[in-house]
Amino acid sequence: MDAGPLPFSYRRYALGLLLAVNLLNYIDRQVLFAVFPLIKIDLKLSDTALGFLGSAFMLSYLLFAPLFGWLGDHWSRTRLASGGLVVWSLATALAGYSTGYRTLLAARATVGVGEASFGTVSPGLIADFFPKERRGQILSWFYVAIPVGSALGYLLGGVLGQRYGWHAAFLLVGVPGLLLAIPIALLRTPPRGGDVPHPGGAGHGALTGYAALFKNRSFVCNTLAMAAMTFAIGGLAQWIPSFLFRVHSLDVAKGNTLFGATTVIAGILGTMAGGWLGDRWQKRSGKGYLLVSGWGFLIGAPFAAWAILAPGLTGCMTAIFMAEFFLFLNTGPLNTVIINVTNPAVRAMAFAVNIFFIHALGDAVSPSLLGWLSDRWDLRSALLVTPFVMLLAGVLCFACGRFVVQDVAVAEG
């Protein structure tokens, strides 16, 4: 429910609560990939079928995002976030009762529906709690859930899966989300657009609002950069645990613990550094957020290639750490660009369109594509596709910088 001016202590509480839910979001999303080797053996799956388990989640995630985006700009954002949390938590837990490939596939697709509801409304909620000049750092705090939640998903999935089986891993990580559904539903929020209500919020129809976004050059270019990033990082996130299992002979528990620990340290450092650098560079240049992200992609891509080609485990994990640090620099900045170049009245729709395209062109296809290439070549050769896509993401960030200053002025006008 919308409220008037909120005390700073309550705003921090809201940030902490949404961060906790986002943490569970990524735990429940990534736990699947930690138990990939166990599912492959138990259900006797090809890499193509295994990869489609990840793609099924993303397909439902992106297909339902436009609906939730429109609802998010016209209905209660907290209720949408709470309802999505209930749906994906139950679906994750029910995956633990899957008796075969089809039931597991259905459960993972349902997880995508719930997470689409939360994903479209939560960034705008976060932005409305804090002033514009702090958005990069604030969103970085929110998105630090990506490396931490992913790492916990790998860690919990690996340890629980190794000890109790992959069914138990899904069941145990799915239940905790239900505990936060009521606090999210009762959360008080400031008016849409920040401390001052923005006019015209209810006047945007779905078609009008979505059509306007495709005319926004910065929004389109930024979304394409994020799509390239999502293709690469999404594919690596899903296949690196299996890569460590096959190429470096690590068991599921050890491989996921090592990868999870590396991800959480590099991810936290990279995400927070990206938010701080983005806000700092943005004060000097209207395209500061894009410069931080673009250079992060260009520097991180060679490290990603080194991680895949390194003959020894030490070199591999060192390169993974460096690659993740530089790649996570973009997390806060690129999401802040979306907020800055769009009108507050259509912000949930903007994130819905962004979610649709970054996943439709990104990790909805990359797990299955990399799995298909792995079946025909080998996993190491298939993964080498990803560094080249990271370079493309960097080029698109720099291209977006040509339009962003003008489009921010239009959004604020």
Residue 198 pLDDT level (bands cut at 50, 70, 90)? very low
HSE-CB of 326 using CA atoms within 13 angstroms:
22
Rounded to whole angstroms, the Cα distance separating 303 from 156 reads: 27
pLDDT at 177: 92
* DSSP assignment of 217-232: HHHHHHHHHHHHHHHH
pLDDT at 206: 58
The encoded tokens of residue 135 equal 């958005």
Rounded average pLDDT over 29-53: 88
Does residue 278 contact residue 335 with C-beta atoms inside 8 Å? no
Residue 203 pLDDT level (bands cut at 50, 70, 90)? very low
Does residue 225 contact residue 402 with C-beta atoms inside 8 Å? no
Amino acid at 126: I
195 pLDDT exceeds 50? no
24 pLDDT exceeds 50? yes
The encoded tokens of residue 140 equal 């970085």
Rounded average pLDDT over 154-158: 87
Does residue 231 contact residue 393 with C-beta atoms inside 8 Å? no
Residue 25 pLDDT level (bands cut at 50, 70, 90)? very high
Alpha-carbon distances of 297 from 115, 230, 290, 398, rounded to whole Å: 26, 12, 11, 11
4 pLDDT exceeds 60? no
Domain ranges of the chain: 8-412
pLDDT at 305: 97
194 pLDDT exceeds 60? no
Helix, strand, coil share of the chain (percent; to 5):
85, 0, 15
Q: What are the tens digits of pLDDT across the range 218-259?
A: 999 999 999 999 999 888 888 898 899 999 999 888 888 898
Residue 200 pLDDT level (bands cut at 50, 70, 90)? very low
The encoded tokens of residue 243 equal 């890569």
Q: What are the tens digits of pLDDT across the range 359-376?
A: 889 887 888 899 899 999
Alpha-carbon distances of 113 from 89, 171, 235, 411, rounded to whole Å: 11, 18, 20, 30
197 pLDDT exceeds 70? no
* DSSP assignment of 241-299: HHHHHHHS---HHHHHHHHHHHHHHHHHHHHHHHHHHHHHHHHH-TTHHHHHHHHHHHH
pLDDT at 392: 97
Rounded to whole angstroms, the Cα distance separating 402 from 343 reads: 20
pLDDT at 99: 86
196 pLDDT exceeds 50? no
Q: What are the tens digits of pLDDT across the range 311-348?
A: 999 999 999 999 999 999 999 999 999 999 998 878 88
pLDDT at 36: 87
Residue 205 pLDDT level (bands cut at 50, 70, 90)? low
The encoded tokens of residue 285 equal 């240049």
Residue 169 pLDDT level (bands cut at 50, 70, 90)? very high
Task: Look at the domain 8-412 and name its fold.
Answer: Growth Hormone; Chain: A; (1.20.1250)
199 exposed, middle or buried (CB, 10 Å; 0-12, 13-18, 19+)? exposed
62 pLDDT exceeds 80? yes
Rounded average pLDDT over 373-402: 95
Rounded to whole angstroms, the Cα distance separating 141 from 158 reads: 26
